[in-house]
């Protein structure tokens, strides 16, 4: 008797699911809209009813509605006109950070018959952010015996905008002893470097005041500035030199704290205390990086202090100095580029859409 009831239950469920899929269909069309960020509330995205092949009466008769979380937060449907309109402020940087592409997937449901329409809304960047330096000023100490042609890495500015609105160039205020060189890195990133063009004379000018300006590619152009104070020193005529100007490191985001990532090494041609070297993060290193990485001042070993998160940042760049113990002290510079490798640490989400939206989350074991 028990086996007969189990078989009937299974057959009833199979018939129910068969009937459900006969009524349900997913429409995978090419409906895609493109709008700039920061549109005013009520701005029209597009004529949704027309683009889905629906009449105005279908909006009520077929109970057209948005069912996705993103759709309900940022958009709504004007039932009288069938238009998809902006429902809330859309900040591209908050949604997609500095990703080159920013697309909000929407789900639109109609009934009789039950259908799911997939819509995409591309959010275009506008130039609404200024380039920003993490510090308003930076101090450099350069011995007057430093050879011309030596370069000093400067702080890079950050701009939350992307593409043509991101940082495009840097300029330096005029000074007969210094000029600016822009170093091109992978990913179209630009690093400003201060170049010593003319020998320094401490007796003639002990301090040089410079202004570094970052310019973006927007129209009109937005800028950000930071001051640079160069103090001219004498004595101790050899600068610590790193074996490599750039160290590349690749690390998985689940590596444990304490793991040594790289060892930087510099040498100094001077003898005694003038040749003894201590390593340190550059003065302009953000606190967010200091909380993740630590540097052994004696060995030059850089290790993990906190967790890495690929979703927060796929790459970190850290400037490191090597200072000797002479009077005055001399310093050399290098940069460490840490590439974070993603691991599958985000659980998938399955969304079943019916008259009442249900979310089923599948979590990995141990989470």
Which tens digits make up the pLDDT trace of 188-215? 788 999 999 999 988 899 999 999 999 9
Average pLDDT over residues 234-254: 89
As given in the structure block, the two tokens for residue 343 are 């691991």
pLDDT tens digit string along 299-317? 999 999 988 988 888 999 9
pTM metric for this prediction: 0.62
Flag whether pLDDT at 230 surpasses 80: yes
pLDDT tens digit string along 318-348? 999 999 998 888 899 999 999 999 886 555 5
Residue 12 is assigned to a structural domain of this protein? no
| 8 Å CB contact between 125 and 162 | yes
Q: Do 53 and 178 have their domain in common? A: no
Torsional sign, CA 290, 295, 296, 298: negative
Residue 4 is assigned to a structural domain of this protein? no
* Last residue within a domain, chosen from 76, 102, 125: 125
Number of domains present in the structure of the chain: 3
Looking at 22-82, which runs of residues are DSSP E strands?
24-27, 32-36, 44-47, 65-66, 75-78
Rounded CA-CA distance 112/63 in Å is: 9
Q: Do 256 and 356 have their domain in common? A: yes
Q: Which domain holds residue 145?
A: 127-234
Residue 14 is assigned to a structural domain of this protein? no
Read off the CATH number of the domain in which 294 is found: 2.60.40.60
Rounded CA-CA distance 287/229 in Å is: 22
Q: Pick the more confident residue, 153 or 24.
A: 153
Instruction: Supply the pLDDT for residue 48.
Output: 93
- Binned at pLDDT 50, 70 and 90, residue 27 comes out as low
Flag whether pLDDT at 182 surpasses 70: yes
């Amino acid at each position: 008797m028990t086996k007969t009831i189990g078989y009937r239950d299974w057959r009833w469920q199979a018939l129910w699911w068969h009937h459900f899929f006969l009524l349900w269909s997913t429409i995978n069309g090419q409906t895609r809209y493109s709008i700039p960020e920061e549109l005013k509330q009520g701005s029209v995205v597009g004529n949704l009813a027309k683009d889905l092949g629906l009449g105005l009466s279908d909006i009520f008769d077929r109970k057209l509605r948005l069912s996705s979380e993103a759709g309900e937060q940022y958009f709504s449907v004007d039932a009288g006109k069938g238009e998809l309109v902006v429902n809330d402020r859309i900040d591209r940087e908050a949604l997609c950070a500095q990703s080159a592409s920013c697309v909000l997937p929407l789900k639109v449901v109609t009934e009789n018959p039950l259908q799911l329409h997939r819509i995409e809304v591309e959010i275009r960047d506008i130039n609404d952010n200024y380039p920003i330096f993490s510090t308003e000023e930076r101090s450099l100490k350069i011995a007057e015996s430093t050879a011309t042609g030596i370069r000093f890495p400067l702080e890079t500015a950050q701009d939350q905008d992307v593409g043509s609105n991101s940082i495009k160039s840097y300029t330096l205020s005029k000074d007969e002893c210094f000029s600016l060189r822009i170093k091109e890195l992978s990913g179209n990133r630009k690093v400003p470097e201060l170049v010593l063009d003319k020998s320094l004379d401490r007796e003639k000018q002990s301090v040089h005041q410079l202004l570094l300006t970052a310019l973006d590619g927007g129209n009109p152009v937005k800028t950000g500035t930071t001051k640079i104070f160069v103090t001219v020193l004498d004595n101790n005529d050899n600068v610590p030199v790193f074996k490599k100007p750039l160290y590349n490191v690749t690390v998985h985001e689940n590596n444990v704290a304490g793991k040594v990532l790289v060892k930087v090494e510099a040498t100094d041609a001077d003898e005694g205390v003038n040749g003894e070297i201590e390593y340190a993060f550059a003065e302009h290193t953000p606190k967010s990086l200091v909380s993740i990485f630590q540097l052994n001042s004696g060995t030059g070993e850089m290790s993990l202090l906190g967790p890495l998160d690929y979703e927060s940042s796929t790459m970190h760049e850290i400037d490191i100095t090597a200072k000797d113990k002479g009077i005055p002290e001399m310093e050399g510079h290098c940069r460490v580029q840490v590439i974070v490798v993603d691991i599958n640490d985000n659980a998938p989400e399955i969304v079943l859409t019916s008259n009442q939206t249900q979310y089923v989350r599948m979590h990995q074991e141990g989470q």
